[in-house]
């Protein structure tokens, strides 16, 4: 994983123009083209195409119901964006269209990897033309048009521009884990809408886990009846979701994780397991012992029937068999399995898993699908047709490519880790060792997938853990490799985030409800104090949350401050940007100093304002250590800022003492699963206040 | 209409206890019982019933599917409120229930006016019991329980309390006009959920208007096919909504407005009209000429068939025939109609309408329904069985009751007029002349209905025009007549408003989207400036909007600042409360003065901060006169406040000059359909700053 160089991130100073060679270099606000992902080529002109109630959409060339649906959705979204009432929704005469869409021919009956998604979009002040080889390109181009529509001094409009666009990678996915926390169909639909908006094209649906088996099986109904607490998708719902995805140009790849991560299968079918059973649905998180018995022919008979059923239900050419994280304990404890290993000369559990994996892959191929699995399935001798999904990293992916295997990158795109958008954005499927692959080998790197593992998300906050950061990942996977400036990305992200709520996601609005739940009956001042602390903090990163506090389970309510805070605090990012700006002025910008001061004063005094609420609410009380740490840290930074403005430097000893204090405060916040993303900015202020540091000298 | 005395409205100083005789008088925050509507009797105890993941609901006594649905919805809502994961949703052993619900017997197959809705709810620290005669009382009691659940220092809980409750009025309605702006089923469903939450029991569905005929008629399909722009409810959808309402203890009363307000009928059926036609769907607002021909027997044949069909579709015993606002122009212009009047000795158009009304009422009765209509249908000789819905006022209702007619009040409950919650709250169906009715006559006043006419609402902002103010109306109709303290109401309204969003309404969250639409790509500072002005302003009141600006139509986008502002500004109400508090301290509370000052400084400087955005957005630009007026008015109030704190009084001349300036600024805001609700508070400051006024003397 390459870390982002901590350069100055000037918000709203768009450097989008760097990515669009033909656009002038002039930094401007608002961005010239507020698009995410950035298109391959764009030539801007001057002026706008007016978008008013006379707007008409028309389709020429190849026609199909999916295009009609796309047109309806387009007009609905355009209405949401503008509130304009379009006089007629009927198909109109192409000659009178404001936006004329021309499609050359159909796409595949079942959407395939690598289909043409290119399009051209030409907008002049009198009309717009979208042209694509097939409906997939049309879907992409319509989203580009919608993103371009904005408010102007004279009404709504789309800027004059000429775009030629196609994706860099053909596999651009989002994985949602419906196993650990069940996600209702409506939640998935909104997320498919979000995927369409940022041109993602694969929904990887993680459907079985230790904590739940989520698909109705008509052949083996005990799988979902006993393995899901009643929380599963019917086959009708699944077909509906696949059709919903197809309408949006998105493939649906199902994952049934085997031979581990499979406790929920064994509740109804203990005969598949390597242990003695009986089994219960797992309530805790982690890697567990239960695993399928790879030595029992009945396992393969069962899986043959099961895969046969699922291969018909899910039309996509790929079938994900998981394969990750088997700890081997049940295998070691089972004498029959040990005997099997000896008899077949299998020297360790990796070998046993390879044997299982090979058998399952044969079944998948038999039922007409291409197997895909996590890194672990790549063992010597496995057929070159399989696809590796790498949770281990780009180097692992590069190694696979060197052996001739196709792969997709997920390491670096785990959105459950709470990383910043910039950190995900810096990860490239062709980065690391992959950068040294030959062009032919690089073609084997198909793309990547954002992964939403669901230990700490429920239907209420999952959108906020996926979006808007996944839009940055989507840009990494669609746009040219040289579109990589985080300042430009952050300049455009708020606009995309806003539009994603228009399609039905709740990644911003969820927070107020959670704050109000934690507050109960509260005064406006108390609510404001709680909001201030929630907006300034972030959840602890990576999987550190696992080790903090009482052991969480799938029944633990996700109603705490750690569940309510954004993974990436906008407030903290904006403040940090202003601190950098202040230092760039050599601490001479007095207005900025006073703005920073006012913000620090607010944070410093906030814990006291929150106290009465903490006394009434156990959830606010629980977060008190973090609230108090934030206020104390702000207090220290405030004193340092005052020293800068007064020209009274800190001694190095005091500096060290204060930085130590900041570190201690961060640990205090960690105790309640929170982190203070403002600390690096606060530390910069302390550094700058120190005798000998740049700003004090320059005064 | 009785106007609210402008006494001090101390927010969060609950005087709820006044209403609940058995509760101590101690004013407290948060309110002892955060309930709306206030129950008839409540005896509070000490402590809480813990609500955690072991919470179990159980039903005893009479059982039916509606109770099961209610139980499921209850648990879903409890989950939303707490995020608790309840281990099992199955029916549990009554002995183990946390909340045991006992129902004596069934309610009517079709919900009837005046059915028993009473319940008792006893909550102790170890369990709760809800008891009701029939499922309607259970529905009401479950909502009371949900409102009681709150966060405490030890977890979620419901306070120990003993409640005996029943409604004051049997007809507690909300009317939604689906004619002028079509409202999708989902919008109506959310509103039914909101109605259930505040114990309203009649959904009056205004289904036909000049601008649209919204019901599928299988007998006369041209009605909806040609009269609705394709925006109508299918009979399947209607049956679904009626079932949805019944599940929530809500009757559905359909309204087909006749003989006026009926242009949309005539697009497909010009033969019903008094004019020559052809007719088009009306796009403008107002009272129009087209009216049914009351002299043509074919009209009654048609209506007989139509009412027959609709009487079967809508099971409620009441059938609303409208009857309002016929201007008579088409009648006057039609020689055949004139001849009919002469031949039948009908002396004027009122008489003609009475004739029509009588004929239609006969048809309604023939098809087994009781007619209800607006004031106009009350003419001499009309049967005593009809119900009058009064848009004219309580006096009109009282006059009807004196003649023996039943009535419901809507005058004073028109939520489209933009009044404050307090103003609606002060209106009582037994107020005005009705207060002098005999007890027997008073029984004829069945209750009231909030009316949401839809000229200036669309699916995006309608919730905000209905809620939370309709919760105050619901309390007026449910709670005892002496529950009438606006301070108590305002202390509880924010909590209810928050819970109404939990059931799916968007009356608060819509605003941010509208702000962002108006802003386009904007910096956080610009967005904050726009939000500040949106939160401080209100739409012009009553129907004054009609006369301002270009003539609006049903195609006019509702995307302006006037559409985005809340009907009642919480910011303005809170500031006004603080001004009153400051004067109550004889201007001695320096902390409060500085708080007021800071707020005024913000408003005063806001227009300048908004300027860059106004230059980029036509919608922000349009509101500039109001934004500028707000800033100027705040500037003047700021100067006055500074005079108070400095002890330098204003001269009477200056006072007059400044008050005149404020009035001029209000007129400036009116030009863009906005009003500045802060002005009365600003004027108080100016008054207090004047030489001789209380505060300057007290210094």
Which whole number is the average pLDDT over B610-622? 97
Helix ranges (H only) for B130-234 are 135-148, 185-197, 222-227
Pairing of strands A212-213, A251-258: unpaired
Angstrom distances, CA of residue B632 to CA of A432, B22, B494, B530: 59, 49, 30, 16
Contacting residues of B for A151, CB less than 8 Å apart: 517-520, 616-619
What span, in angstroms and rounded, lies between the C-alpha atoms of A236 and A251?
Answer: 17
Q: Is A103 helix (H, G, I), strand (E, B) or coil?
A: strand
pLDDT band at B692 (very low <50, low <70, confident <90, very high): confident
- By Cβ distance, the residue of B31, B89, B517 closest to A521 is B31
Among A251-255, B101-105, B283-287, the range scoring the smallest mean pLDDT is B283-287
User: Are A154 and B616 within 8 A, CB to CB?
Assistant: no
pLDDT at residue A196 is higher than 60: yes
pLDDT band at B90 (very low <50, low <70, confident <90, very high): low
**Token duo for residue B21:** 């005789």
- Minimal CA–CA distance to A28: which of B176, B523, B656? B523
User: Are A619 and B151 within 8 A, CB to CB?
Assistant: yes
What are the counts of helices (DSSP H) followed by strands (DSSP E) for chain A? 27, 19
Provide the pLDDT for residue B638.
Answer: 97
Query: Is cis: bond before B497, omega within 30 of 0?
Result: no
Supply the pTM of this predicted model: 0.93
Question: pLDDT of A353-365, one tens digit each?
Answer: 999 999 999 999 9
User: Are A83 and B557 within 8 A, CB to CB?
Assistant: yes
What span, in angstroms and rounded, lies between the C-alpha atoms of A364 and A688?
Answer: 61
- Site of tokens 């775009």: A163
What are the counts of helices (DSSP H) followed by strands (DSSP E) for chain B? 27, 19
A295-329 per-residue burial string, b: 16 or more CB within 10 A, e: under 16: bbeebbebbbebbebbbebbebbbbbbbbbebebb
User: Are B30 and A617 within 8 A, CB to CB?
Assistant: no
pLDDT band at B23 (very low <50, low <70, confident <90, very high): very low
pLDDT at residue B128 is higher than 90: yes
Q: Which residue of A has its CA nearest to B616?
A: A153
Provide the pLDDT for residue A691.
Answer: 78
Chain mean pLDDT for chain B: 92
Pairing of strands B212-213, B251-258: unpaired
Query: Is the Cβ of A90 closer than 8 Å to some Cβ of chain B?
Result: no
Looking at the complex, report in whole angstroms how far the Cα of residue A550 sits from the nearest Cα belonging to chain B.
16
pLDDT band at A508 (very low <50, low <70, confident <90, very high): very high
Contacting residues of A for B231, CB less than 8 Å apart: none
The neighbouring-strand residues paired with B175 are: B204, B451
Backbone angles phi, psi at A60, to 5 degrees: -125, 165
Asked whether B283 and B553 are in contact (CB, 8 A), the reply is: yes
Cβ contacts of A607 within 8 Å, gap of 6 or more: A533, A624, A627, A628, A630, A631, A632
User: Are A554 and B621 within 8 A, CB to CB?
Assistant: no
User: Are A517 and B82 within 8 A, CB to CB?
Assistant: yes
**Token duo for residue A358:** 């090979």
Looking at the complex, report in whole angstroms how far the Cα of residue B372 sits from the nearest Cα belonging to chain A.
34
Contacting residues of B for A509, CB less than 8 Å apart: 509, 512
Cβ contacts of A304 within 8 Å, gap of 6 or more: A363, A366
pLDDT band at A29 (very low <50, low <70, confident <90, very high): low
User: Are A12 and B523 within 8 A, CB to CB?
Assistant: yes
User: Are A85 and B556 within 8 A, CB to CB?
Assistant: yes
Provide the pLDDT for residue A147.
Answer: 97
Question: pLDDT of A319-333, one tens digit each?
Answer: 999 998 899 999 999
Asked whether B304 and B319 are in contact (CB, 8 A), the reply is: no
Asked whether A51 and A98 are in contact (CB, 8 A), the reply is: yes
Calculate ∠ Cα B172-B174-B178, nearest 5°.
155
Asked whether A97 and A56 are in contact (CB, 8 A), the reply is: yes
User: Are A523 and B555 within 8 A, CB to CB?
Assistant: no
Calculate ∠ Cα B372-B377-B379, nearest 5°.
130
Provide the pLDDT for residue B381.
Answer: 85
Question: pLDDT of B499-545, one tens digit each?
Answer: 999 999 999 999 999 999 999 999 999 999 999 999 999 999 998 88
What span, in angstroms and rounded, lies between the C-alpha atoms of A135 and A144?
Answer: 14
Task: List, as one string, the DSSP characters of B53-90.
Answer: TT--EEEEES--HHHHHHHHHHHHHHHHHH----S--S
Chain mean pLDDT for chain A: 92
Percentage of the residues of chain B whose pLDDT score is greater than 90: 88
Asked whether A262 and A295 are in contact (CB, 8 A), the reply is: no
Query: Is the Cβ of B154 closer than 8 Å to some Cβ of chain A?
Result: yes
Provide the pLDDT for residue A89.
Answer: 55
Q: Which residue of B has its CA nearest to A154?
A: B618
In the residue annotation, A325 being an active-site residue is answered as yes
Q: Rounded to an integer, what is the distance from CA A70 to the centroid of its chain? A: 24
Backbone angles phi, psi at A615, to 5 degrees: -75, -20
Which whole number is the average pLDDT over B433-460? 96
pLDDT at residue A464 is higher than 60: yes
Task: List, as one string, the DSSP characters of B348-407.
Answer: SHHHHHHHHHHHHHHHHHHTT-EEEEEGGG--TT--TT-EEEESS-HHHHHHHHHTT-EE
pLDDT at residue A3 is higher than 50: no
Contacting residues of A for B34, CB less than 8 Å apart: 521
Task: List, as one string, the DSSP characters of B570-636.
Answer: HHHHHHHHHHHHHHHTTT--HHHHHHHHHHHHHHHHHHHHHHHHHHH-HHHHHTHHHHHHHHHHHHH
Task: List, as one string, the DSSP characters of A129-152.
Answer: EEEESSHHHHHHHHHHHHHH-EEE
Provide the pLDDT for residue A549.
Answer: 72
Interface of B with A in 494-513 (CB under 8 A): 495, 498, 501-502, 508-509, 512-513
- Minimal CA–CA distance to B492: which of B168, B165, B33? B33
Among A248-262, B4-18, B343-357, the range scoring the smallest mean pLDDT is B4-18
Q: Which residue of B has its CA nearest to A32?
A: B521
Question: pLDDT of B158-191, one tens digit each?
Answer: 999 999 999 999 999 999 999 999 999 999 999 9
The neighbouring-strand residues paired with B167 are: none
Provide the pLDDT for residue A104.
Answer: 98
Query: Is the Cβ of A280 closer than 8 Å to some Cβ of chain B?
Result: no
Q: Which residue of A has its CA nearest to B575?
A: A524
Higher-confidence position of A29 and A61: A61
Provide the pLDDT for residue A95.
Answer: 83
Contacting residues of B for A150, CB less than 8 Å apart: 520-521
Provide the pLDDT for residue A484.
Answer: 96
Residue tagged active-site, from B106, B112, B325, B595: B325
Query: Is the Cβ of B85 closer than 8 Å to some Cβ of chain A?
Result: yes
Query: Is the Cβ of B312 closer than 8 Å to some Cβ of chain A?
Result: no
User: Are A30 and B520 within 8 A, CB to CB?
Assistant: yes
Percentage of the residues of chain B whose pLDDT score is greater than 70: 94
Query: Is the Cβ of B522 closer than 8 Å to some Cβ of chain A?
Result: yes
pLDDT band at A695 (very low <50, low <70, confident <90, very high): confident
Choosing among B516, B535, B559, B581, which should be mutated to test the A contact, i.e. which has the most A CBs within 10 A? B516
- By Cβ distance, the residue of B155, B522, B554 closest to A618 is B155
pLDDT band at B8 (very low <50, low <70, confident <90, very high): very low
A626-629, long-range: CB < 8 A, 24+ apart: A626/A533, A626/A537, A626/A561, A626/A668, A626/A669, A626/A672, A626/A674, A626/A676, A627/A533, A628/A668, A629/A665, A629/A666, A629/A668, A629/A669, A629/A676
Residue tagged active-site, from A106, A115, A325, A535: A325
Give strand ranges (E) for B267-369: 318-322
Asked whether A55 and A146 are in contact (CB, 8 A), the reply is: no
Query: Is cis: bond before B398, omega within 30 of 0?
Result: no
Provide the pLDDT for residue A381.
Answer: 85
Q: Which residue of A has its CA nearest to B620?
A: A153
- By Cβ distance, the residue of B153, B519, B574 closest to A524 is B574
Sign of the torsion angle spanned by Cα atoms B499, B504, B507, B511? positive
Torsion of CA A78, A84, A86, A92, to 10 degrees: -40
Which whole number is the average pLDDT over A442-470? 97
Query: Is the Cβ of B72 closer than 8 Å to some Cβ of chain A?
Result: no
The greatest distance separating any two alpha carbons of chain A, rounded to the nearest whole angstrom, comes to: 81
* Beta-carbon count within 10 A of A625 CB: 18
Choosing among B81, B148, B456, B520, which should be mutated to test the A contact, i.e. which has the most A CBs within 10 A? B520
Interface of B with A in 607-666 (CB under 8 A): 615-619, 621
Tally of CA atoms within 13 A in the half-sphere of B646 that contains its CB: 11
Interface of A with B in 433-452 (CB under 8 A): none
A vs B: CB pairs below 8 A: 121
């Amino acid at each position: 994983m390459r870390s982002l160089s901590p350069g100055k991130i000037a918000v709203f100073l768009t450097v989008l123009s760097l990515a669009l060679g033909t656009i002038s270099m002039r930094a401007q606000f608002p961005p010239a083209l507020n698009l995410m992902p950035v298109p391959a080529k764009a030539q801007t002109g001057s002026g706008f195409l007016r978008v008013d109630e006379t707007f008409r959409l028309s389709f020429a060339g190849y026609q199909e119901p999916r295009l009609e649906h796309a047109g309806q959705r387009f007009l609905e979204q355009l209405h949401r964006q503008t509130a304009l009432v379009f006089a007629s929704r009927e198909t109109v005469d192409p000659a009178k269209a404001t936006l004329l869409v021309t499609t050359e021919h159909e796409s595949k009956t079942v959407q395939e990897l690598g289909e043409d998604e290119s399009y051209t979009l030409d907008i002049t002040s009198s009309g717009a033309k979208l042209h694509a080889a097939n409906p997939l390109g049309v879907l992409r181009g319509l989203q580009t048009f919608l993103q371009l529509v904005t408010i102007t001094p004279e009404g709504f409009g789309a800027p004059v521009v000429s775009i030629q666009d196609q994706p860099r990678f053909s596999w651009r996915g989002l994985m949602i884990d419906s196993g650990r926390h069940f996600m209702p169909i409506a939640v998935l639909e909104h997320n498919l809408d979000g995927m369409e908006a940022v041109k993602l094209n694969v929904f990887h649906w993680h459907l079985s886990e230790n904590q739940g088996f989520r698909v109705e099986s008509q052949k083996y109904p005990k799988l979902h009846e006993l393995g899901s607490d009643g929380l599963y998708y019917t086959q009708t719902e699944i077909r509906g979701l696949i059709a919903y995805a197809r309408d949006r140009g998105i493939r649906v790849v199902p994952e049934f994780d085997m031979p581990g991560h499979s406790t929920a299968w064994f509740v109804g079918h203990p005969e598949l397991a390597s242990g003695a059973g009986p089994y219960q649905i797992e309530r805790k998180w982690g890697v567990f012992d239960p695993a399928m018995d790879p030595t029992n022919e009945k396992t393969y008979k069962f899986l043959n029937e099961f895969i046969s059923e699922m291969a018909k239900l899910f039309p996509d050419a790929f079938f994900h068999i998981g394969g990750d994280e088997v700890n081997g304990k049940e295998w070691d404890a089972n004498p029959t399995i040990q005997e099997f290993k000896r008899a077949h000369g299998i020297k360790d559990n990796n070998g046993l898993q390879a044997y299982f994996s090979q058998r399952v892959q044969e079944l998948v191929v038999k039922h007409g699908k291409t197997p895909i699995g996590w890194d672990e399935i790549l063992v010597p001798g496995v057929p070159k047709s399989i696809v590796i999904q790498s949770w281990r990293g780009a180097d692992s992916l590069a190694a696979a490519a060197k052996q001739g295997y196709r792969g997709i990158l997920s390491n670096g795109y785990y959105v459950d880790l709470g990383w910043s958008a910039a950190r995900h954005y810096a990860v490239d499927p062709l980065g690391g060792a992959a950068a040294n692959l030959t062009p032919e080998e690089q073609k084997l790197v198909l793309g990547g997938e954002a992964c939403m593992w669901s230990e700490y998300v429920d239907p209420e906050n999952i959108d906020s853990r996926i979006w808007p950061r996944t839009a940055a990942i989507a840009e990494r996977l669609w746009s040219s490799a040289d579109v990589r400036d985080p300042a430009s990305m952050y300049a455009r992200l708020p606009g995309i985030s806003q539009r994603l709520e228009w399609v039905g996601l709740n990644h911003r609005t969820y927070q107020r409800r959670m704050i109000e739940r934690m507050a109960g009956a509260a005064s406006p001042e108390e609510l404001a104090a709680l909001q201030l602390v929630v907006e300034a903090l972030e959840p602890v990163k990576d999987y550190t949350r696992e080790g903090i506090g009482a052991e969480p389970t799938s029944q633990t309510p996700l109603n705490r401050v750690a569940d309510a805070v954004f993974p990436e605090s906008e407030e903290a990012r904006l403040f940090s940007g202003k601190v950098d700006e202040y230092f760039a002025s050599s601490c001479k910008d007095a207005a900025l100093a006073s703005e920073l001061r006012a913000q620090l004063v607010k944070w410093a005094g906030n814990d006291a304002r929150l106290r009465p609420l903490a006394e009434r609410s156990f959830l606010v009380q629980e977060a008190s250590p973090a609230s108090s740490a934030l206020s104390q840290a702000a207090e220290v930074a405030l004193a340092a800022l005052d020293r800068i403005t007064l020209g009274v430097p800190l001694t190095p000893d005091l500096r060290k003492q204060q930085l130590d204090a900041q570190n201690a405060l961060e640990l205090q916040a960690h105790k309640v699963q929170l982190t203070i993303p403002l600390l690096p900015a606060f530390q910069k202020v302390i550094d700058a206040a120190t005798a000998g540091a740049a700003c004090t000298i320059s005064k």
